[in-house]
Amino acid sequence: MDLNEQLASAVGRSSEQAGATGDALIAVAGFLSSRASLRRALTDAGRSAQSRESLARQLFGGKIDEAALDVVGSVVGIRWARTSALVSTLFELGVQAHLLSAESRGALDVVEDELFRFGQTVRNDTALRSALLDRSAPEQARRQLIRTLLEGKAQPETVRLVEYAVLERREGSLEKELDRIIELAAARRRRIVAVARVAKPLSDGHRHRLERALSAQAGTEVQLNVVVEPGLVGGIKVEIGDEVVDGTIIGRLEDARRRLAASR
Which residue segment(s) compose the domain that 117 sits in?
107-189
* Residue 218 or residue 77, greater confidence: 77
Q: Distance of CA 225 to CAs 115, 120, 194, 211, 254, Å? A: 11, 11, 6, 9, 24
136 phi/psi in degrees, rounded to 5: -80, -15
Q: What is the mean pLDDT of the segment spanning 24-41?
A: 94
Are residues 45 and 143 located together in one domain of the fold?
A: no
Q: Which residues pair with 196 in a beta bridge?
A: 226, 238
Q: Give burial (CB, 10 Å; 0-12/13-18/19+) of 56.
A: buried
Are residues 167 and 177 located together in one domain of the fold?
A: yes
Are residues 100 and 1 located together in one domain of the fold?
A: yes
- H-run or E-run covering 62: none
Q: What is the pLDDT of residue 25?
A: 96
pTM of the model: 0.82
Are residues 200 and 185 located together in one domain of the fold?
A: no
| DSSP tag of 165 | I
Are residues 172 and 225 located together in one domain of the fold?
A: no
pLDDT in tens, 108-132: 999 999 999 999 899 889 999 999 9
Are residues 124 and 30 located together in one domain of the fold?
A: no
Are residues 81 and 144 located together in one domain of the fold?
A: no
Are residues 94 and 10 located together in one domain of the fold?
A: yes
Q: What is the pLDDT of residue 260?
A: 45
Domain endpoint, select from 189, 212, 231: 189
Are residues 225 and 256 located together in one domain of the fold?
A: yes
Domain endpoint, select from 45, 77, 104: 104
Are residues 199 and 140 located together in one domain of the fold?
A: no
Are residues 224 and 131 located together in one domain of the fold?
A: no
Are residues 58 and 127 located together in one domain of the fold?
A: no
Domain endpoint, select from 145, 165, 189: 189
Instruction: Beginning with the edge strand found earlier in the chain, give each strand of the sheet holding 243-246 in spatial order.
Output: 221-228, 191-198, 236-240, 243-246
Q: Please check the confidence at residue 263 and state whether its pLDDT lies above 80.
A: no
Count of structural domains within the chain: 3
Per-residue confidence band for 253, with pLDDT thresholds at 50, 70 and 90:
very low
pLDDT in tens, 225-246: 888 887 776 778 888 877 777 6
Q: Distance of CA 142 to CAs 40, 115, 164, Å? A: 31, 17, 12
Q: How far apart are CA 52 and CA 254, in angstroms?
A: 57
Beta strand 191-198 with 221-228: parallel, antiparallel or unpaired?
Answer: parallel
